[in-house]
Amino acid sequence: MTDQISRAWAYLSRVAEPPCPELRALTRRVGPVEAAERVRTGDVDDVIARRTEARRQIDCAANDLETLDRMGGRLINADDAEWPLLAFNSFCGVSGRPQAHEPMVLWVVGPAYLAGIAERAAAIVGTRAATAYGEFVAADLAAGLAARDAAVVSGGAFGIDGAAHRAALAADGVTVAVLAGGIDVPYPAAHAAMLRRVRGEGLVISEYPPGERPARHRFLTRNRLVAALAGATVVVEAGARSGAANTAAWAGALGRPVCAVPGPVTSSASVGCHALLRAGANVITRTEDLVELIGRAGELAPEEPRPASPLDELADAERHVYDALPARGSRTADEVAVAAGLPPMQVLGPLAVLELSGLVVRSEGRWKLARRT
Amino acid sequence: MTDQISRAWAYLSRVAEPPCPELRALTRRVGPVEAAERVRTGDVDDVIARRTEARRQIDCAANDLETLDRMGGRLINADDAEWPLLAFNSFCGVSGRPQAHEPMVLWVVGPAYLAGIAERAAAIVGTRAATAYGEFVAADLAAGLAARDAAVVSGGAFGIDGAAHRAALAADGVTVAVLAGGIDVPYPAAHAAMLRRVRGEGLVISEYPPGERPARHRFLTRNRLVAALAGATVVVEAGARSGAANTAAWAGALGRPVCAVPGPVTSSASVGCHALLRAGANVITRTEDLVELIGRAGELAPEEPRPASPLDELADAERHVYDALPARGSRTADEVAVAAGLPPMQVLGPLAVLELSGLVVRSEGRWKLARRT
């Protein structure tokens, strides 16, 4: 990419608040250099004029690219191989959501390869006001995804997001933080060190140019990218009003599985999760549940382990006869028949099977339960 | 009812392990006295002969009725007004479950009126190995049902069942314990005092005659009555193998709502509940959710309370402009326009609205956020 083209993309990234589908369409049609020139000179239609009016005189593209360069990052668009085309295809099917548009460019920093990540990733999101339970579960799921070569996408926030990023890093997994401000603006500031590690080993990405501060509406706009880059979105904890519910809504709108982790009904931090479950979200209790949703065909979650009982192998008749023996003491076959409500002839066979299985013991014509070892 | 008829019912109640649809059909056809006589003398078809062979010589009907009388109870059948006809109608639609049959008689002790109870009741069931969380939630739901004039049906067991019965009693509500043995056989023995209170204020019922001990298969058979007598069944806590899942399965088979309370995914006592939720059970987090399922038409659960924010009332444009103001310091209208990515003309209106709402303050041509009080 020549400097001129890069600078045009950087200029276009800042000049309209994303997503701006009209500007994106113009750029696809005439190319970034021509599009930037037209915006700068006001040679655009009314919609783009209005969307770019406030910022078209601002050109700090060279500075922005310098900042990006200093961080070792790259500015990618739909022409780049790294662009997650497949993942972003999901935006095509969304209607009724004004922000449901593919981004025009992404500012990306980190060694991971975005297009590859989006093929096997889950978003782990949730409330900033997480409980110890929520942070534990987020970390457990993230570590489990890392162990199964799946990336963990999240928003870099306090609480659930941070627990997920940190656990993925600790497990040498790949994690992606999608920011609601510039890639050089760590938010929250207290997560600066963590985000440095994320961009050192995974990816930090944003559709906002360097220096931009996150704002409330940008979090909501950003959430669509978190949902789009992940094969499924799981909300670990969310209060009655949580941004995580917005990410889950995006996942649903994009046709991706919406998932929630149940929690104590006595915990206000799980209210949002239970609302999602009530609305039909997938129940996630283990990493395997998530991998089943984002993984390759056939990666089914194994059955939950069930404690086994020696009675499992018994047929109904034998179990019925077994139940008719008293906890203490012994019974004759006739007494067993009465207790079981079966004809005497029908208890002898089952008693013999139970004796062979070592479950009952015969002694002097009477039967009793064998002591469990 | 004459003594002869009562004794015939009592005899029939014991002679075959319930449910025995063939014996029930015979009794409906020829009446209890004639049916009892035929069984006693062996004048019955092969099926009934086999089902009654072991016990037909046993006649302790007089004793059984004396026990019942001493406890102040009654033996009811489908001809009695107290028989929960409507509730038991649900057995008609069940296929593929050999035990899915209406009982022939019920041994009932307590001041409550069974047919009335079944019109507004929920079953609260769960593991005997309940956690403090589970017992708390069971008690909370039971107390809530009591406060809303709904009965609490359960199985009298340790753990969730006991917590539900006790809380209903404590709230002066009606609670019903369906036993898997005789009404005079408190099981578990440590619940004798509780069951005495249940039959003193609500109902203790069983389809097994006095003196009968519960056996494993009787618990499973009993569970169908718990499910049938309740408008909905909620499992509060259940391990991977819990009888509560069996009660829930009965509720489903009988066409009643199956419900489960979510819990921590780190708790093995909630594994069964999450399995039920995964299979489509209703999510129950509050009594209101249950009342909506068992209550009269229109008894909808109110919305969960949501914390309110002064920004809730704002239109999108105003919220967008509000977000463009910095947390500290002030901005000119033009600066706000750049930050918001809106034409300068489009920020003045929203700024005026925000000023009127007391959310932003103007001072010397600059705008800043009002301090939240």
Distance CA B256, CA B90 (A): 9
Determine what percent of chain B is predicted with pLDDT higher than 70: 98
Q: Which residues of B47-83 are buried (b: 16+ CB within 10 A; e: fewer)?
A: ebebbbbbbbeebebeebbebbeebebbbbbbebebb
Tokens of A256: 């991706």
Contact A65, A7 (CB under 8 A): yes
Q: What is the mean pLDDT of residues A76-82?
A: 96
Which residues pair with residue B354 across a beta bridge?
A: none
**Is the pLDDT reported for residue A186 higher than 80?**
yes
The reply to whether residue A262 touches residue B265, judged by beta carbons under 8 angstroms, is yes
Distance CA B143, CA B139 (A): 6
**Is the pLDDT reported for residue B79 higher than 80?**
yes
**Is the pLDDT reported for residue A72 higher than 90?**
yes
Please write the tens of the pLDDT for every residue from B20-39: 999 999 999 999 999 999 99
Distance CA A270, CA A265 (A): 7
User: Residues near B38 by Cβ (< 8 Å), separated by ≥ 6?
Assistant: B26, B30, B44
Distance CA B292, CA A330 (A): 50
Domains and CATH numbers, chain B: 1-59 (no CATH), 71-294 (3.40.50.450), 310-369 (1.10.10.10)
**Least confidently predicted of A119-128, A171-180, B95-104, B246-255:** B95-104
Could you tell me the CA-to-CA distances from A163 to A175, A242, A259, A353, B27 in Å, in that order?
Answer: 11, 17, 18, 54, 66
**Is the pLDDT reported for residue A116 higher than 70?**
yes
**Is the pLDDT reported for residue A313 higher than 90?**
no
B209 burial level (CB within 10 Å; 0-12, 13-18, 19+): buried
Nearest to B67 by CA among B206, B221, B220, B216: B206
Determine what percent of chain B is predicted with pLDDT higher than 90: 73
A348: confidence class by pLDDT, cuts 50, 70, 90? confident
Alpha helices in chain B (DSSP H): 3-15, 21-30, 32-41, 46-52, 61-70, 85-89, 114-117, 132-147, 160-170, 192-201, 216-229, 243-253, 271-278, 287-294, 316-323, 333-340, 345-356
Please write the tens of the pLDDT for every residue from B133-150: 999 999 999 999 999 999
Sign of CA dihedral B276, B280, B283, B287: negative
CA torsion A21-A26-A27-A28 (nearest 10°) is 90
**Is the pLDDT reported for residue B171 higher than 90?**
yes
**Is the pLDDT reported for residue A46 higher than 80?**
yes
The reply to whether residue A263 touches residue B262, judged by beta carbons under 8 angstroms, is yes
**Is the pLDDT reported for residue B165 higher than 80?**
yes
- Contacts with B, A 268-297, CB within 8 Å: 270-271, 273-275, 277-278, 282-286
The reply to whether residue B240 touches residue A307, judged by beta carbons under 8 angstroms, is yes
**Is the pLDDT reported for residue B186 higher than 70?**
yes
Mean pLDDT of chain B: 92
Distance CA A215, CA A197 (A): 24
Which residues pair with residue A366 across a beta bridge?
A: A363
Please write the tens of the pLDDT for every residue from B203-252: 999 999 999 999 888 998 999 999 999 999 999 999 988 888 899 999 99
**Is the pLDDT reported for residue B275 higher than 60?**
yes
Q: What one-character DSSP code corresponds to residue B109?
A: E
The pLDDT value recorded for residue B297 is: 66
Distance CA B266, CA B253 (A): 30
Distance CA B189, CA B178 (A): 15
- Contacts with B, A 209-248, CB within 8 Å: 213, 215-218, 239-241
The reply to whether residue A319 touches residue B217, judged by beta carbons under 8 angstroms, is yes
The reply to whether residue A265 touches residue B265, judged by beta carbons under 8 angstroms, is no
